[in-house]
Each structure stands twice: as structure tokens, then as C-alpha cells.
Structure 1
């Protein structure tokens, strides 16, 4: 009877020794929570990714550095950055420097064409004998194809002639044009001579105004070749 009681008592006394030899803490012991000794669960360990920078967080792809932004253009070896090529406008427009003629000649003082005075005197004597000058002489410096306009008033029943002499000009022509607004300009007469000197209505063939009224008009000199010219209107 004593032996049966001693056996359980002995087993109970050995149980703490057996348990004390284990290093594992009791998972149900509240004193182990937060101690850092419990490693079997989630307590005491850093959460995966917690407190760590999230992948890509705080650094957006490409943020703060746009492609090509703040970068200097590539330079050729040993030189300055290459400037963009300028399109050849001459080729686009169909040629190089313009050589077109035309436009208005520059007026000059008749005295600047004094060398043409003997020519003018001879023309007046042969072409407009018996006619009187209408206003003063006029002169201009021409480039090839340029024109010069001298305004005057046509009187009713009057007859008009114009003579002009050129220096350096290959060919000079003369027109009388009516300029009655709002009608477009109308050519009333023109020269039929050639060369550096020109005559309109010479040798008694003056232009006569067929209308009973007068009006504004202009003499137009046109030059082929560069040079100077002087002109004079005559009336009778």
C-alpha cells in the first residue's frame, strides 16, 4: 500500500526537473510577451517590410530627372555644339539672290544730267519745233527695268510731245497715261523710237487731247539698262 502511494509522489517530484531542462518558454506565459525572447510567433520580430522602404516608394521612376532635362547637348569632339541647320530658302523659293528688275527709279536734279543737255537741245530743235515747255525738266537714276512717273494736267484741245535723253541706258521709252480716278490708268500715247534717247509725238505728231475737258495724267519713262535720264514735256 505504501509502494503504490510513493510512485505517484516520486513522479510528481521529477516532473519539474524534466520541464526545467527545456529552453522553450511557455507560449502561454504572458510574461514572455514583448520580452523579445519569444521567437516562435510574430512577437519580437520585425514585420516583413515594416519600417523598411517600400520598393520604389519615395523614388518615382524617372521623377526629378526628365529624359534629356538639364543635360547639355552633345558636342562634337573638340568643338562647340552644332547649331541646327538653316533651311536654304533660296533653293525652296527657286533660286538664289534675286536679279529681278522693276520698281521706281530715284529722282535726281536735272543738273545732275548736265551731260545730256546738248542732246536735249538737239532733240527739241528737230522734234518739237514751235512747241513750248510744259513745266520744268525732270530726271531720274534708273536700274534695269525701273520706271519714273512725272505727273501733269492735260488741257482740252492741247497737243503734247515729250522728249528724253539717257546716259548709260540701253533703251528708253515714253508713255502718256491718263489717271482719272476711280477709273484705271489708260495709256493715251507712247513712243516708237529706240535707243538711249526717246521722242513721243515728235515732228508734228504730238498727242492731242480729243476731249473737251482736261484731267490729271502722267508721263512714264521706262529704262532698259542702268543709267540716268532727263525728260521734258512740250505743249502747243
Structure 2
């Protein structure tokens, strides 16, 4: 009887020990990620380097950003009325007996800007071009032709005067004559080489 009780007690003790072992959680190693995140991991803990920050640069282009134009603003000849009397007086001196070819043309200039006017160069005709600037210290005129549209324009003549008045084919040198029996498209270019203001020009022919 005593032996049976002993075995019973031993069996109960074994079962209790077995239950106790199965209910006790296994010890686990600390997660390296958690240790690294703490900022002070134990020695020997490998921590992966933090990813580099991505820097995004945004370039913004203003819609109002503009580039200075090289072309003067064309204005009606009446708006350049201040230049008209001077230009007429200059024409009487430099283009006596010649007739206007079309009307005058004018523009509002910033320094360095140009204004173009196309004309038809007739065969055998002689041309004089006069220009006057108001507020412009140095006005220049160039006379081009461009027989072939895709080819660069060809310079026919340019003024050799200085100051706010400019003339091509004036009285001293004689009018510029088309040396060929053919007509061609022509172009007059006014340039405010120095100064800002208005300028007007007129082509004369005979």
C-alpha cells in the first residue's frame, strides 16, 4: 500500500513538472532591429546602415520670364511726328527731285534694337534712304537684298554718317542704283546703335 502511494505521488510530481516546463516561455534573443533603433545597441550587434536621404530638386521656371527682344516696336508714322519735319528737311538736301517709295516707317527703339522694312528694288532705278532719330545718339541704316529666300541677305549699302541722322545714297555720293536689269526684293534696316528713342525713315527713288 505504501509502495502504491509512493508511485502515485511520483507520477503526480512528474506530471506537474512536465506541465510547468511546457508553460514556461522559451527565452528569445533580442531583435537586432529593436536594439539598433534604440540608438545604443550592445557591443557586437550588427546594425545595417540607414538609407541615404533622397533629395529632390525642383526647378521652377517663371511663366513671366522674358528675353529682351532685338527688334524695335513698330509704330505708326504719325506717332513719330516729331521726326517728320527733320526727315523732310534732310530729304530735300539729300534726295532732291526724287519721289517717296511707299510711306515712311518708324519705331520705338531701345539701344541696339533694329527695325526692318521691305521694299521692291526695281531694275534700273536709283535709291536714296534717309533716317532721323529723336533721343537716339547714333542711328545707322543698312540696305540689303535677298534674291533667294533661303540664302543669307546680301548687303548692298550702309550709311557712313554719324549722329542721329543717317543717309544712304545721299547727294554727296549719288543715289544707289540697281546695277542689274532685274528686280529683286530689298530690305532696309534701321538700328539704334546708341541711345533710346524713336526713329523714322523714308525711301526715295528716281
In the alignment, which residue of structure 2 is the partner of 1:217? 186
Aligned to 1:97: none
TM-score, length of structure 1 as denominator length: 0.65
Tell whether 2:2 aligns with 1:33. no
Assess, with a 3 A threshold, how the Cα gap between structure 1 residues 145 and 28 changes in structure 2: closer, same or farther: same
State the TM-score, normalized to the length of structure 2: 0.73
1:50 lines up with 2:25 in the alignment: yes
Aligned twin of 2:167: 199
**In structure 2, C-alpha distance between the alignment counterparts of 1:114 and 1:172, rounded to whole Å:** 17
Residues 129-171 of structure 1: per-residue CA shift (max 9 Å, x gap): 0111000000000000111100111111111110011100001
Comparing 122-131 with 51-60, greater Cα deviation is found at: 51-60
Q: Which has the higher contact order (CA 8 A, sep 6+)?
A: 2
**1: CA distance between counterparts of 2:10 and 2:156?**
128
Aligned equivalents of 1:134, 1:152: Cα separation in 2? 8
User: Corresponding residue for 1:226?
Assistant: 196
Structure 2 unaligned segments of length 5 or more: list them.
38-49, 52-57, 59-66
Residue 173 of structure 1 is aligned with which of 132, 140, 154? 140
Alpha-carbon distance in structure 1 between the residues aligned to 2:187 and 2:145: 7
Counterpart residue number, 2:108: 141
* Residue from 99, 116, 126 that aligns with 1:132: 99
**Structure 2 counterparts to residues 1-20 of structure 1, below 5 A:** none
8 Å CA contact 1:138, 1:231 repeated in 2 = yes
**Aligned counterparts of 1:46 and 1:168: Cα–Cα separation in 2:** 107
Give 5+ residue unaligned stretches, structure 1: 1-15, 20-24, 69-85, 87-99
8 Å CA contact retained: 1:101, 1:145: no
Render the CA deviation track for 1:114-142: whole Å, top value 9, x for unaligned: 11122112111110001110000000000
What is the CA distance between 1:56 and its match in structure 2?
2.2
Work out the CA distance in 1 between the residues paired with 2:24 and 2:120: 103
Shift in CA distance, 161/57, structure 1 to aligned 2, threshold 3 Å: closer
Pair 46,105 (structure 1): closer, same or farther in 2 beyond 3 Å: same
2 CA distance for matches of 1:199 and 1:49?
111
| Distance change >3 Å, CA 57–CA 174, structure 1 → 2 | closer
